[in-house]
Amino acid sequence: MITREPVYTDAPATAWEGLWRMVLMGLADVGRLGVLTMQALAGIPAMLFSRRQRREWVRQMYQMGIKSLPIISVVGMFTGMILGLQVGLELRRFNQEIYIGPAVMVSMLREMGPFMSALILAACVGSSMAAQIGTMTVNDEIAALEIMSIDPVRFLMTPRMAAMVVMTPLLSFYTCVLGVIGGGIVGLTQLNVAWDKYMTMAMDFARMRDLYVGLFKAMVFGIIITGVSCYEGFTTRQGAVGVGQATRRSVITSFLLVLVVGYIITRMFYDL
């Protein structure tokens, strides 16, 4: 599935032909991305029986999770504070500041926690994966692995995929916790909502389904980010310039897919 040979085609005769060719190439990229992602996911069980790959899996979890905690902490706290402040200002118009807890809790669990953590991981971790694998591709290191009969997908992508599947839900939950704490600080200091009332209302209105859907959404986001980043890395062309372009495309594509897939998952689990 890793194709590095350039494809030469004649220039389109008309604008419609160029548009149609662009659509077909986009669908082909989506198909290759899907197959590559499925190959990485299918290799996870075999990875667990390899000591070397288990060590790489743990190292990737440290790189993706522990090293992302500082920025995740800041973003999670201020996301909850901003959300609590904006919602609280509107609720105060109706003397309903007590409901700031449910608003922050449900919003963080359902959407903001998975969404913010996915954006951070796409920008920090996804770009790093695309740049690293892209550099290996243009330096013919991927071709060297294939010559040695080593599957690059299972060797490079599977440990990263397994690490993201584990760490993305954990980081999403951590973001939700910090967001709720941030909303409580705003409620206590600026809206005169007692901390115990805030937490009681937040816990009473939140449902377990909100937590499960949020964690599932985060796991799907992790799969998308890893798949897109590794695919862009494996298909990098044109040396250092191509590495930069692949990194940029991986971040943009991950952002767009996170937005679209996030809406689809929410629509599937919550009927109007």
The pLDDT value given to residue 2: 54
Q: Is the pLDDT of residue 172 over 60?
A: yes
Quickly state the pLDDT bin for 7 (edges 50, 70, 90): low
The pLDDT value given to residue 158: 93
Which amino acid does the sequence have at 176? C
CB count in 10 Å sphere of residue 21: 12
Poorest-confidence range of 1-10, 31-40, 62-71?
1-10
**Cα–Cα dist 125/113, whole Å:** 17
Please write the tens of the pLDDT for every residue from 44-102: 998 888 888 899 999 999 988 889 999 999 999 999 999 999 998 888 888 888 889 89
Please write the tens of the pLDDT for every residue from 230-271: 999 998 888 888 899 999 999 999 999 999 999 999 988 887
The pLDDT value given to residue 168: 94
For 224, half-sphere exposure in the C-beta direction (CA atoms, 13 angstrom radius) is 26
Our CA angle for 202, 265, 210, nearest 5°, is 20
Please write the tens of the pLDDT for every residue from 185-242: 998 898 888 899 999 988 888 888 889 999 999 999 999 999 999 999 998 888 888 8
Asked whether the beta carbons of 124 and 76 are under 8 A apart, the reply is no
Q: Is the pLDDT of residue 20 over 90?
A: no
**Cα–Cα dist 66/121, whole Å:** 12
Please write the tens of the pLDDT for every residue from 111-131: 899 999 999 999 999 999 999
Q: Is the pLDDT of residue 6 over 70?
A: no
**Cα–Cα dist 210/207, whole Å:** 5
Q: Is the pLDDT of residue 10 over 70?
A: no
CB count in 10 Å sphere of residue 82: 15
Q: What is the mean pLDDT of residues 33-47?
A: 90
Asked whether the beta carbons of 97 and 193 are under 8 A apart, the reply is yes
What residue spans of 7-68 are helical by DSSP H?
Answer: 15-42, 44-47, 51-64
Our CA angle for 136, 137, 139, nearest 5°, is 65
* Predicted TM-score of the model (pTM): 0.89
